[in-house]
Amino acid sequence: MADCNNCATSTTCTKDKEACQVVVNQFSKIDRIIGVMSGKGGVGKSTVAVAIAKRLQRQGYKVGILDADVTGPSVPRLLGLHEQRAKHVEEYILPVETMEGIRAMSLNFLVDEENSPVIWRGPIVSNMVKQFYTDVFWGNLDYLVVDMPPGTSDVALTVMQSLPLHGLVMVTLPQDMVSMIVEKAVQMARKMSVPVLGVIENMSYIVCPDCGKKINLFGDGNSDNLLYRHQLHLLGEIPMTQGMASMASAAGTDAEMDALFAPIVENIRKVLG
């Protein structure tokens, strides 16, 4: 959770501590909130966030997923819920639920057409994300997974300041340029006193379907420097697979994904304690 003493904007901020952090509504109780972040776009942050949520749900936990990536919301498609729209009861929004029972909230559940862009300035986007926490009827959840806003911009800052995050999982690729940008997100989290639970290296390799050889698509790059410099755990490596790539469209990829994410989610739970 954000701490005013260490907040990056503490020298200029004039708000009360309470004004900064938001509280979930009286009908919801959320035990753990895990953010999935990456300073760099397109590295698989949303895919990983959904895979973590699915794995936790399969283990029997009550799970929600909050799509804070308001300008590029992909959670509805990744969960196969893109044709659904959210309903509301009085001032509360009801999350859309998968058949398995994962509760999700995304801006795309509120717009008429999923491909309509939101052309909003940062503060409006930030407020929307806060409302996804405060005004959604989450009910009782063991875990809320937050697909964090992209980059290290003001929306990401708001989420770190406002939502009582228990920790962040950083998603990276084995490429120096990506690591460098993810490092900015790690440093931002540290400045905001949000614990970084560890790093998931996505698209680490591909396996040749003919000979089974592992091929490092991004050459010799790896995340070792990032891990070493910031004393972070490697939570796991995910290969580039057709199953992962078609998560938003294909049925039947869950078994593969579940096997890949079982040890990763176990590691996250261990670090969370």
Q: Is 60 labeled as ligand-binding?
A: no
The answer to the question of whether 223 is labelled as a binding residue is: no
* Site for ligand ATP contains 46 (CB under 6 A): yes
Note whether 1 binds ligand ATP by CB under 6 A.
Answer: no
CB closer to ligand ATP out of 7 and 75: 75
Number of residues that bind ligand ATP (CB under 6 A): 20
Q: Is 75 in the site for ligand ATP (CB under 6 A)?
A: no
Interface stretch with ligand ATP, choices 15-23, 43-51, 119-127, 159-167 (CB under 6 A): 43-51
70 near ligand ATP, judged by CB under 6 A: no
79 within 8 A of 66, measured Cβ to Cβ: no
User: Which pairing describes strands 92-94 and 87-89: parallel, antiparallel, or unpaired?
Assistant: antiparallel
From the list 38-46, 56-64, 120-128, 173-181, the region that binds ligand ATP by CB under 6 A is 38-46
Structure tokens at 63: 């799970």
Whole-Å CA distances, 53 to 30, 99, 158, 208, 253 = 14, 14, 22, 29, 15
Give dist(CA 115, CA 252) in Å, integer. Answer: 26
| Among positions 98, 161, 175, 202, the unique one binding ligand ATP when judged by CB under 6 A | 202
Using CB under 6 A, pick the residue from 35, 39, 44, 236 that binds ligand ATP.
44
193 is in an annotated binding site: no
240 binds ligand ATP, rule: CB under 6 A:
yes
Residue 35: strand pairing partners = 146, 168
State yes or no: residue 42 binds ligand ATP (CB under 6 A). yes
- Positions 121 through 180 that interact with ligand ATP (CB under 6 A): 150
Q: Which C-beta is closer to ligand ATP: that of 28 or that of 44?
A: 44
Binding-site residue ranges: 39-46
